[in-house]
A = this chain, B = another copy of it.
Amino acid sequence: METENGTNWLNDEEQRAWRAHLDVSRLLMHQLERDLQPFGLTNNDYEILVNLSESEDHRMRMSDLAAATLQSKSRLSHQITRMETTGLVRRENCESDRRGLYAVLTDRGWETMREVAPHHVASVRQHFIDLLGTQGINALYGSLAPVADHLRTRRKIG
């Protein structure tokens, strides 16, 4: 199973699965980005909007939002500043913790969300979901969920 130097290299099946995952993840992000461009949004913009839209009072603490979107506090801070200048979002103080800030969806942000979401979903369907089929979807989830868990716990630690 191992070559003489002791490394457990990937076999052909492993290799092609790994490359498929890699390729899909990059190509897909690219395609989604392209499909959002006409609306003047990036993937990152959109994900922020989704998270805020689904949250109580259309607001989230910066830290939680950073964690939910898997980006650094710094990156999120810049991102929110940009979105503030485009009027999709505003910052608001948190009185229970005076260090804290909320990112809050503006009316304009909410409107944008309602307009763009259907197109985005269509895009996700066209380029991903609808190509999988029901059993493909469940197979995918079954395979990937444990990996996601592993990586999330690893993240907390590291």
Q: Which of B10, B27, B117, B118 contacts A121 (CB 8 A)?
A: B10
Given contacts A17-B137, A118-B5, A139-B139, contact A27 B132 (CB under 8 A): no
Are A18 and B142 neighbours in the complex by a CB distance under 8 Å?
no
Are A20 and B118 neighbours in the complex by a CB distance under 8 Å?
no
Q: Can you pick out 13 interface pairs between chain A and chain B where the beta carbons lie within 8 Å of each other?
A: A6-B118, A9-B121, A10-B125, A13-B134, A17-B138, A20-B145, A21-B128, A23-B70, A27-B70, A27-B155, A30-B155, A132-B143, A139-B140
Of the listed stretches A73-81, A86-94, A95-103, A146-154, chain B binds A146-154
Which residue on chain B has the smallest CB distance to residue A117? B7
Are B140 and A17 neighbours in the complex by a CB distance under 8 Å?
yes
Size of the A side of the interface (Cβ < 8 Å), in residues, is 55
Q: Which of B7, B125, B127, B134 contacts A118 (CB 8 A)?
A: B7
Are B23 and A25 neighbours in the complex by a CB distance under 8 Å?
no
Which residue on chain B has the smallest CB distance to residue A136? B143
Contacts of A148 in B (CB 8 A): 20, 23-24, 27
